[in-house]
A and B are shown apart, each in its own frame.
Chain A
Amino acid sequence: MRGYLKWSAALVVALMVMAACSSEPTDTGDTGDAEPGATLAFGTSADPVVLDGALVSDGESLRAIDQMFEGLVTLAPGGTEVVGGLASDWEISEDAMTYTFMLEEGVTFHDGEPFNAEAVCFNFDRWFNFPKPFQQADASYYYQTVFGGFKGNPDALYDSCEATEDLTVTLQLTRPSASLLGALALTNFTIASPSALEEFGADEGKINADSLFQPTGTYGTEHPTGTGPFMFVEWTRGDRLVMERNPDYWGEFEGNVDELIFRPIADGAARLQALQTGEIQGYDLVDPQDFETIDGDENLQLLNRPAFNVGYIGFNQAVEPFDDKAVRQAIAHAIDRQEIVDAFYAGLGEVAKEFMPSSLEGYADDVTEYEYDPDKAKQILEDAGYTLPVAIDFAYPTDVSRPYMPDPQANFEAMVSDLEDCCFEVETKSAVWSPDYLGNVDTGKYGAYLLGWTGDFGDADNFIGTFFQTKQPAWGFDNEEVFTCLDEAEVEPDVEARFGLYEECNRLIMDFLPGLPYAHTEVGLAFTANVSGYVPSPVSLEPFSLVTVGT
């Protein structure tokens, strides 16, 4: 027994010595200067779902696809201005029903196949003719939002695509559209190699026992083929997605990243730790509590993604007493939104006074505002004939952190505390974010709830149009004035007039107060100090081809 003990003790000591000795973080492989050959590992919050742009709506899939694929148009880095992508120029017909694109020359897909008008039309036709299971909302949300429907659907915007010349594409629509160009900058409309799509069965699959469409092709998991600055190398779910620089890239590759690795790390604190130990050189979605740490570390740097979101308390007017405007106003006055934004958003947040960020055209500065005044809240309720405290129910999601709401519970507790200190009695409800909470919100089960929205593209329609243009169980109201205002604004062809109309709608909405917006916030990204060139974008379109990893 003694011998055994001695032996195992020695082993343990040996292990500890070895551990202590190799305490330096392992090299990323780039100790030299900023010469080509840099590897950049980036910490993401989750794995992509699939690498087929047409079939995804989650941020991580979009991020990865953005590196390998391009669309006809794209956005200038850091903003929402539409600029040329694979199309160098375009023409929109008078009636806004025909879009003609002139394509770049000399572009090839990663598999060597030439990029041309035929390839573009192949992609558009593919989406239009998606098999039924791909037409589900969770698969092709963006196509449906933009194009309205698929083949056989009378609401479909798409009519046809023609390759009028080798490098000229003509898109024919069924009705005029003022906003299609901006929408085509979305990642979901990037162009993939037709031969790869066919060869690897991008549309193949079978219906399995759960009535779920199960893709059997390997396109989206092993052979995503685009025209972008990076090419797919390999993908091990839960571990890493590896991409490498495209040596035949047709455009400008300003950075020096040769190998780009996305590493899914679900926990924000774990992402920070990985950054500190050098396992990754950057990550997204920095937790507010880590800002101080990163700021104080001279080896790290913080970048901010411009605010393009809104956090709000939603009111369901089908549930009493939220149908009474007095109650909604009282809630607005009872909560100290400034205190919450100051405390829980690491200095990156600002109080929201309407349902879209100020950087969007259509933002109105002179909307009705609701200052923090609990006494006023009490007055309003009493004037309306209520005995205090007024009973309401209020829900928040667990198990989630959203950019506009990094810590839902913290916001919630502070709000409830304010409400109860004033004049309300709150019944608290909560559910796991997905699918329970979202499902409950969307089917109108809650009275008041915490929610928010991150913009997809630079148009007011994407915010207030999505929320308030139609009757929805989540909001529970039927207000013709608001619906009409938004309908008109959406189809107004004159750009300036359109902005004016949206401003009007914002005034209407904030007077009606279907919900209480409370925060817009920038989102934090962290990098090691030697990384430069990364340009945060409000819609998270952030190409790594611009990034340089220094010494």
Chain B
Amino acid sequence: MSIVEAEAAQLNVDRPSGLWVDAWDRFKRNPAALVGIALIVVFIVAAVFAPQIASFEPNEQAGPLATNPAGPGGDHLLGLDQQGRDVFTRILFGARLSLLVGLVSVAVGLAIGLVLGALSGYLGGWVDFAIMRLMDLMLSVPGLLLAIGLVTIMGRGLFQIMLVVGIVQVPTFARLLRGAILGQRESDYVLAARSVGVPGHRILLGHILPNSIAPVIVQATLAMATAIIEVAALSFVGLGPADPRLPEWGKMLAENANRLEQSAHLVIFPGLAIVFSALGINLIGDGLREAIDPKLKS
């Protein structure tokens, strides 16, 4: 082997190439994305290890009942709430809830949206028309109003709310996938596969979907952040999860919005928790988008 060949071989071993590896490389080098990962790690650790980290129970009355409860100090890192519960504990347990909410609602939206988008994009014809008109209809009402409407009918249980927030995301995913599929359908490799006789569904599942996945992943991460904020917004208008004992961040914020002057700690800390979690997710999503294609338009 010549020296050049040896070196080339070495390079190949050291740096296998491919779309995903390149993307990961770019991602790693993006400082914003790394900050995002740090934030999310904190978020997940808080969610998973809440019982171990917190010194109180989320619904334990650790202090007196009070209209204007005490702020940070003493045993209570972030203060107490009106029922005498420790705020820091509730925020930690709230991370669990937000994580759950984010994951479930995005899963719902993704599942339904992908199915609809795939059917629409691949089958075309009147199926496409019907599905897209339904998506148009859903998109013609602003997201929060649609969510408000659905929650009012379906009720304020935690599960219903996650479902509703997921449903509101469906048109975005559906359109995204449909667009990607339409783009892919006419591409060379698909035509080639077709001409060779590969059955339709195999092309869809084996070729088109994997290649359309990139923008979907980006959108899914962003959708998680949106989900968390949307549940907070629902709580703000009084349509959040009904159980008053749930330590949901948006709920905590909304309940104390009119007490900002007296109990700023009850508003600011849950609010910051929401902002940092959503920020972390958005940074990662953005980093992914940049990594996959640095100039990709949204």
Contact = CB atoms under 8 A, between A and B. Distances in A.
A and B touching (Cβ–Cβ under 8 A)? yes
Interface of A: 267-270, 287-290, 292-293, 339-340, 342-344, 346, 396, 398-399, 407, 409-410, 412-414, 416-417, 428-430, 432
B258 interface: yes
B158 to A, nearest CB: 13
A417 B83 contact: yes
Interface residues of B, number: 22
Interface in B26-64: 59, 61, 64
Contact of A399 (B65, B238, B244, B261): B238
Given A413-B83, A413-B244, A428-B244, A268 B65 contact: no
A287 B256 CA distance: 12
A344 B59 CA distance: 18
B67 A288 contact: yes
Contact of A269 (B59, B61, B261): B261
Nearest to A400: B238
Nearest to A436: B152
Contact of B259 (A270, A289, A344): A289
B242 interface: yes
A288 B243 CA distance: 23
7 contacts: A342-B65, A346-B67, A396-B244, A399-B238, A414-B65, A428-B244, A429-B242
B226 interface: no
Nearest to A421: B61
A5 B255 CA distance: 41
A343 B64 CA distance: 8
B244 A430 contact: yes
A340 B83 CA distance: 10
B263 interface: yes
Contacts of B255: 409
Contacts of A409: 244, 255
A251 B238 CA distance: 47
B258 A428 contact: no
B150 to A, nearest CB: 16
Given A417-B61, A430-B242, A267 B258 contact: yes
A102 B259 CA distance: 52
A287 B65 contact: no
A343 B258 contact: no
A344 B244 CA distance: 17
Interface string B272-283: 000000000000
Contacts of A289: 67-68, 259, 262-263
B68 A340 contact: no
Interface of B: 59, 61, 64-68, 82-83, 156, 238, 242-245, 255, 258-263
A27 B290 CA distance: 55
A268 B261 CA distance: 12
A414 B83 contact: yes
Nearest to A291: B67
Contacts of A288: 67
Q: Per DSSP, are chain A's interface residues mostly helix, strand or loop, or mixed?
A: helix
A289 B264 CA distance: 12
Name which of B82, B245, B260 has the most chain A CB atoms within 10 A of its CB: B82
B262 A292 contact: yes
B245 A413 contact: yes
A467 B260 CA distance: 38
Nearest to B243: A428
A231 to B, nearest CB: 35
A270 B259 CA distance: 10
Nearest to B155: A431
A267 B243 CA distance: 24
Contacts of B66: 343
Nearest to A339: B65
Contacts of A407: 67, 82
Given A343-B65, A344-B67, A417-B61, A287 B245 contact: no
A410 B67 CA distance: 9
Nearest to A340: B65
B65 A344 contact: yes
Contacts of B258: 267-270, 287
Nearest to A398: B238
What are the 9 A-B residue pairs with the smallest beta carbon separation, nearest first?
Answer: A343-B65, A269-B258, A288-B67, A399-B238, A289-B67, A289-B262, A413-B83, A430-B242, A289-B259
A356 to B, nearest CB: 26
B62 to A, nearest CB: 12
A528 B147 CA distance: 42
Contacts of A413: 83, 244-245
Contacts of A412: 244
Contacts of A267: 258
A343 B238 contact: no
Nearest to B61: A417
A399 B240 CA distance: 12
A266 B258 CA distance: 11
A412 B243 CA distance: 11
Contacts of A292: 68, 262
Contacts of B243: 428
Given A289-B68, A293-B262, A343-B67, 16 more contacts: A269-B259, A289-B259, A290-B262, A293-B261, A340-B65, A343-B64, A344-B67, A346-B67, A398-B238, A407-B82, A409-B255, A410-B67, A410-B83, A413-B83, A417-B83, A430-B244
